[in-house]
Chain A
Amino acid sequence: MRKIVTSVIAGIGLALACGTSVRAQDKELTIFWAEWDPANYLQELVNDYTAETGVKVTVQTTPWPDFQTKAFTEFNAHGDAYDMVVGDSQWLGAGSTQGHYVDLTDFFNQHKLGDVMAPATIKYYAEYPGGSGKYWAIPLEGDAIGWSYRKDWFEDPKEKEAFKAKYGYDLAVPTTYAQLRDIAEFFHRPDQKRYGVAIYTDNSYDAMAMGVESAIFSYGGDLGDYATYKVDGITNSKQAAAGLDMYKELYKFTPPGWGKTFFVEDNQAITGGLAAMSMNFFAFFPPLVNKATNPYADVTGFFANPAGPDGKRFAALGGQGISVVSYSKNKDEAMKFLEWFIKDETQKKWAELGGYTCSQAVLKSDAFQKATPYNKAFYDTMFMVKDFWATPEYAEVLDQLNQNIYPFVVGGKGTAQEALDKTAADWKATFTKYNRYK
């Protein structure tokens, strides 16, 4: 018995010793991100880094609904499982004020990233608090809400004629929400299993909020004053209520059972030939131009989020920046990786692989804008984006918005004004609780 115990202990010791020595020799970095195509593109990109430096970089992923929970569980435990995280823009407040992210201000200034990356991406993916000049992430994946549509339906002469007869103007890519609504109504033919539009309605994370805020922003509304936390009269302004009303109006023309939908369902609305137009983040568009995944790839077009009644035009920002986790044991190595990542040639390769670079030089290049049918719309959108609250209590604020607007949009309960009045009251109480009004 003693012999067995001794040999088991010796075996464990040997294994541990080997493990430690292997780790010491081969440096490894782990990047945590959500499970989606861009993460695969990033893995392809970082393989080049491994080939150049010998440092193995792994992109670890988890499904979207678990992304926030899993990342913050690790942060809260001060775990070192991830060296870097490609975190949502809303996480900046929590990541920076709670000590989870390494301060990258010096790195940012040293490499003059303010001139390299697109302004909106710096404002929303990197800086916290807004206007402070403190940076916590390097913009990695630019993203925003855009639209795909069925070009063949739009260009069908009979449809064009019928549309003109009904609405008095030509059927074309919508430039305003009012046109988008008319087109959605026009193509909504449940008896033919054809529907007008596919929008986000999932309220388990930020999907529906992103769709709703795109409409609110374009209608001239805002979610609040992010600098002073003022919400009364802003969150529940008439313009914001009109934007929310429009979103509810669009819900009327969605396919049946459209009550828990996010990027998968919205892409299926196009690949399944269900809807004329579909909202989605640009990052989810690559499968729509691939014939293997979309039988209608040849006839699928793309456009940027339309304007509101006063010509204001905004889109909800998605996308993420890459941050160094302060509990990582490989922070120096992670900084070296970031130096490689911001190089022009790396950014160019990143865009070629399918990643949405935030590098101004690459975005402005003809090669990028013509690379896919949606890159031009993406470029246009990245200069008219606005984001959700990035305050540390954003999860609570997001949940309150979901609780108030979902029953109105999907359940048809109450009015847009009531939903936003309640949201403003809830947010005010939350911000008061966290001493935001000093």
Chain B
Amino acid sequence: MASVALTNLDPASRAAARGWSDLTIRNLFIIPTLVFLIVFNIFPLIYSLGYSFTNFAANRAEPWQFVGLQNYRELLSDDHIWSNFVITAKYVIVSVAGQMIVGFGLALLLNRSFPMKGLITTLLLLPMMMSAAVVGLFWQLLYSPSWGPINYVLGLGDFAWLSNPDSALYAVAITDIWMWSPFVMLLSLAGLSAVPQHLYEAAAIDRAGWWYTFTRITLPLVSPILLIALIFRTMEAFKTFDIAYTMTTQPTAELIAIRLYKQAFQQWDTGKSCALAYIVLIMVLAITNLYVKYLNKVKER
């Protein structure tokens, strides 16, 4: 860090007048962030790793004992937990795939000039600016079999989206798609606008078709940024809690984050919940790593 060259302070600046060096200013900016990170992120992370090897329960006065890998063993052999992981995987696949398709599709539609483009883009971004819990509660009303507009519009009668064990998870995923497609749209728009126009012009001169242009020019050039959107959304979808928690209590829609919450704050099984949190963390890291490796390959091309 010391070898990093720093620009000299303007002698006329206030900082120079106070006798501060550029190093002092750098520290002033960095140290509070570092302290914050260490106190609120790194320290709890290490502390909870320690807890994950104990039978510590935050609501008990008895001293905790070191149990080695028992928590991990029990969790990984628990059918309920595996079923939560399968549910989460289904949810991640459906919701992220939906968001990528809808988000990228919207970006393609918006990537041209038309009247009120700015207003429409802003309106489309609104869902992701809302609180997830509020979105969950609203969609719970929209799905209501008695008075919800969704069944009315689709002519589904009394179909109970959230009470039906087969549809509850997909109903939550649809809500997540609605909320987060604008995020993918925004990143895709940035990618699309960066594609050099002359490539399209050259393709037009060569009389290339729409599909050819899309698969040979648009998609390869936008894919790095699409992959970034994919990484972000996969990580977020894996951690989803608020939308699902407010919308349904169906066990078939119990994501791993909800199970973790119940284990940690309803059952107060602190040691085991720390172990579960680590299992989730390792899984997210592994998936993200795969994506990042693929992203680097795509960039190299």
Q: Is B53 an interface residue (CB 8 A)?
A: no
Neighbouring B residues of A393 by C-beta, 8 Å: 267
Do residues A407 and B251 form an inter-chain contact, with CB atoms below 8 A? yes
Interchain CB contact (< 8 A) of B163 among A72, A259, A399, A407: A259
Q: A76-B59, A76-B268, A395-B267 are in contact. Are A259 and B160 (CB under 8 A)?
A: yes
Do residues A256 and B145 form an inter-chain contact, with CB atoms below 8 A? yes
Q: Is B144 an interface residue (CB 8 A)?
A: yes
Q: How far is the CA of A225 from the CA of B163 in the complex (A)?
A: 33
Q: Is B61 an interface residue (CB 8 A)?
A: yes
Q: How many residues of B contact A (CB 8 A)?
A: 29
> What is the CB-to-nearest-CB distance from A429 to chain B, in angstroms, rounded to a whole number?
10
Q: How far is the CA of A413 from the CA of B165 in the complex (A)?
A: 9
Contacting B at CB under 8 A, from A384-434, are: 392-393, 395-396, 399, 403, 406-407, 410-413
A126-148, CB under 8 A of B: which get 1 and which 0? Answer: 00000000000000000000000
Contacting A at CB under 8 A, from B223-279, are: 248-252, 262, 265-269
Neighbouring B residues of A413 by C-beta, 8 Å: 165
Do residues A72 and B267 form an inter-chain contact, with CB atoms below 8 A? no
By CB atoms of chain B within 10 A, which of A258, A392, A411, A413 has the most?
Answer: A411
Q: Is A203 an interface residue (CB 8 A)?
A: yes
Q: A257-B145, A259-B250 are in contact. Are A410 and B266 (CB under 8 A)?
A: no
A202-221, CB under 8 A of B: which get 1 and which 0? Answer: 11100000000000000000
Which partner residue on chain B sits nearest A393 by CB separation?
B267
Q: A76-B59, A98-B60 are in contact. Are A69 and B265 (CB under 8 A)?
A: yes
Contacting B at CB under 8 A, from A166-207, are: 190, 193, 201-204
Q: Is B162 an interface residue (CB 8 A)?
A: yes
Q: Is B158 an interface residue (CB 8 A)?
A: yes
Interchain CB contact (< 8 A) of A256 among B158, B248, B250, B267: B158
> What is the CB-to-nearest-CB distance from B55 to chain A, in angstroms, rounded to a whole number?
9
Interchain CB contact (< 8 A) of A99 among B61, B80, B164: B61
Q: Is B91 an interface residue (CB 8 A)?
A: no
Neighbouring B residues of A290 by C-beta, 8 Å: none
Do residues B160 and A257 form an inter-chain contact, with CB atoms below 8 A? yes
Which partner residue on chain B sits nearest A260 by CB separation?
B249
Do residues A98 and B80 form an inter-chain contact, with CB atoms below 8 A? no
Q: Is A55 an interface residue (CB 8 A)?
A: no
Do residues B158 and A190 form an inter-chain contact, with CB atoms below 8 A? yes
Do residues B163 and A260 form an inter-chain contact, with CB atoms below 8 A? yes
Q: Is B139 an interface residue (CB 8 A)?
A: no
Do residues A396 and B267 form an inter-chain contact, with CB atoms below 8 A? yes
Q: How far is the CA of A280 from the CA of B159 in the complex (A)?
A: 25
Q: A260-B248, A260-B249 are in contact. Are A407 and B146 (CB under 8 A)?
A: no
Neighbouring A residues of B163 by C-beta, 8 Å: 201, 256-260, 410
Neighbouring A residues of B161 by C-beta, 8 Å: 257
By CB atoms of chain B within 10 A, which of A204, A259, A413 has the most?
Answer: A259
Neighbouring A residues of B80 by C-beta, 8 Å: 403
Neighbouring A residues of B269 by C-beta, 8 Å: 396
Do residues A257 and B59 form an inter-chain contact, with CB atoms below 8 A? no
Do residues A98 and B267 form an inter-chain contact, with CB atoms below 8 A? no
Interchain CB contact (< 8 A) of A399 among B58, B61, B143, B267: B267
Neighbouring B residues of A50 by C-beta, 8 Å: none
Q: A204-B249, A259-B250, A411-B250 are in contact. Are A68 and B266 (CB under 8 A)?
A: yes
Do residues A259 and B162 form an inter-chain contact, with CB atoms below 8 A? yes
Interchain CB contact (< 8 A) of B262 among A99, A274, A399: A399
Interchain CB contact (< 8 A) of A395 among B58, B159, B164, B266: B266
Q: How far is the CA of A399 from the CA of B266 in the complex (A)?
A: 9
Q: A98-B59, A255-B146 are in contact. Are A410 and B268 (CB under 8 A)?
A: no
Q: Is A7 an interface residue (CB 8 A)?
A: no
By CB atoms of chain A within 10 A, which of B58, B144, B159, B251 has the most?
Answer: B251
> What is the CB-to-nearest-CB distance from B54 to chain A, in angstroms, rounded to a whole number?
14
Q: How far is the CA of A99 from the CA of B60 in the complex (A)?
A: 9
Do residues B158 and A411 form an inter-chain contact, with CB atoms below 8 A? no
A245-263, CB under 8 A of B: which get 1 and which 0? Answer: 0000000000111111000
Neighbouring A residues of B143 by C-beta, 8 Å: 257
Do residues A395 and B146 form an inter-chain contact, with CB atoms below 8 A? no
A98-125, CB under 8 A of B: which get 1 and which 0? Answer: 1100000000000000000000000000
Q: How far is the CA of A99 from the CA of B61 in the complex (A)?
A: 8
Do residues A257 and B249 form an inter-chain contact, with CB atoms below 8 A? no
Do residues B267 and A411 form an inter-chain contact, with CB atoms below 8 A? no
Neighbouring B residues of A411 by C-beta, 8 Å: 165, 250-252
Q: How far is the CA of A287 from the CA of B163 in the complex (A)?
A: 27
Neighbouring B residues of A297 by C-beta, 8 Å: none
Q: Is A62 an interface residue (CB 8 A)?
A: no
Neighbouring B residues of A372 by C-beta, 8 Å: none
Q: Is A82 an interface residue (CB 8 A)?
A: no
Q: How far is the CA of A72 from the CA of B264 in the complex (A)?
A: 12
Q: Is A299 an interface residue (CB 8 A)?
A: no
> What is the CB-to-nearest-CB distance from A286 to chain B, in angstroms, rounded to a whole number?
25
Do residues B267 and A257 form an inter-chain contact, with CB atoms below 8 A? no
Q: How far is the CA of A254 from the CA of B181 in the complex (A)?
A: 36
Q: Is A73 an interface residue (CB 8 A)?
A: yes
Do residues B59 and A72 form an inter-chain contact, with CB atoms below 8 A? yes
**Smallest CB-CB A-B distances: 8 pairs:** A259-B163, A256-B145, A411-B165, A256-B158, A257-B160, A257-B145, A396-B267, A76-B58
Additional pairs, 7, CB under 8 Å, beyond known A202-B249, A204-B249: A69-B265, A72-B59, A255-B145, A255-B146, A256-B145, A257-B143, A392-B60
A-B contact pairs, 12 of them (CB 8 A): A72-B268, A94-B59, A190-B158, A257-B146, A257-B160, A257-B163, A258-B160, A259-B164, A259-B168, A259-B248, A393-B267, A407-B252
Q: Footprint of A on B, CB under 8 Å?
A: 58-61, 80, 143-146, 158-165, 168, 248-252, 262, 265-269
